[in-house]
Amino acid sequence: MPSERILVTGASGFIGRAVVEEGVRRGLAMLAVTRAATSWPATVSAATVHGGLNDGDWAPVLVGASAVIHCAARLDVIHKSSANPLTEFRCTNVTGSVRLAEQAAAAGVRRFVLVSSIKVNGESTLPGRPFTEEDLPSPADPYGLSKLDAEKAVLRVAARTGLEVVVVRPPLVYGPGVKGNFAFLAKWIRRGWPLPFSALHNQRSLIALGNLVDLLLLCTRHLAARGETFLAADGKDVSIAELCRGIGAAVDRPVRLFPVPTKVFESVAKLAGRQAIAKSLCSSLQVDASKVRARLGWSPPLGLDEGLRLAVEGAR
């Protein structure tokens, strides 16, 4: 086994698997760590850690690791009716991240890259006022609160141990294997269903999976990344209507859009109990990623059109 390697947590997930596969493609020594045995190509070194993030023993798999890319996180509560979802999120996203960071520092790991979320900044932005790293955090839901707490807690470990921590906050990530609203949207467009989005003129920042992976791997080694928090995005913001047309071009299908005023759209969504989806479709969420470009000299390798093509091919 190589003397130095990059350990990836949550390696069976959407982002983690892509990080491992790209690292191997580049000839890097990668270790894919999951909670359950996962099928990998012979070129991938893999290990399992029994238990959850908050009670697993990471020491054996951290031996020889030069960096950790921490993708594992709780994205949703197990029980929708949970009386205290924030406690559930914090158990994994905060307690678990701190446990891993402390064990990484004890094992002599140099760099710890924490995959956080733009939800730490908030849920929406005003026109022409994209989020920056200098903005005061304003998380609006338990998941966002837990990711902010995780950032603070891991940085305290860094201050105490000398572990080099880098925090990356991505917005919506799209790519092969993407699920959720993006996958549903692609399915609707592929089937030719008309969509009521042509009157929605919001602006959303996105990041292609390949672009995020490229940045995370860069953050494991770039000297100027140490101790920094970066917002990440493709660099081209789109409205929901523009996103639909981009997906349509990627699947070679005409996009049938018709106008519904925003207020009407939101009212109907409220009656249907879909306020969260309506907000994500109607509101703007823009990210200023100029800091990471200037500090690390990073530029996204994939443009929007190529990123969408890869995403819909993966969905197919």
What pLDDT does residue 82 have?
62
Q: Give the mean pLDDT of 243-253.
A: 94
For the question of residue 174 being annotated catalytic, the response is no
DSSP secondary structure string for all residues of 207-230: EEHHHHHHHHHHHTT-GGGTT-EE
What mean pLDDT is reported for the chain? 91
Q: Output DSSP code: residue 67.
A: E
Please say if the pLDDT value at position 2 is more than 50: no
Reported pTM: 0.93
What pLDDT does residue 38 have?
83
What pLDDT does residue 278 have?
73
Percent of the chain at pLDDT exceeding 70: 95
Angle between helices 240-251 and 180-190 (to 10 degrees): 60
Query: Tens of pLDDT along 118-169?
Result: 999 999 999 889 999 999 999 999 999 999 999 999 999 999 999 999 999 9
R_g over Cα of the chain:
20
Could you say which of 14, 40, 58, 143 is catalytic? 143
pLDDT tier at 1, thresholds 50, 70, 90: very low
Task: Give long-range contacts, CB 8 A cutoff, 24+ apart: 98-102.
Answer: 98/150, 98/153, 98/154, 98/157, 99/53, 99/54, 99/55, 99/56, 99/58, 100/9, 100/53, 100/58, 100/68, 100/70, 101/70, 101/153, 101/154, 101/157, 101/158, 101/163, 101/165, 102/157, 102/161
Q: Give the mean pLDDT of 297-301.
A: 97
Which of 242, 311, 14, 278 is closest to 124 using CA atoms? Answer: 278
Angle between helices 97-106 and 142-161 (to 10 degrees): 20
Q: Which amino acid is at 223?
A: L
The CATH number of 5-169 is 3.40.50.720
Which of 220, 133, 136 is closest to 169 using CA atoms? Answer: 133
In the chain, domain spans: 5-169, 180-201+239-282
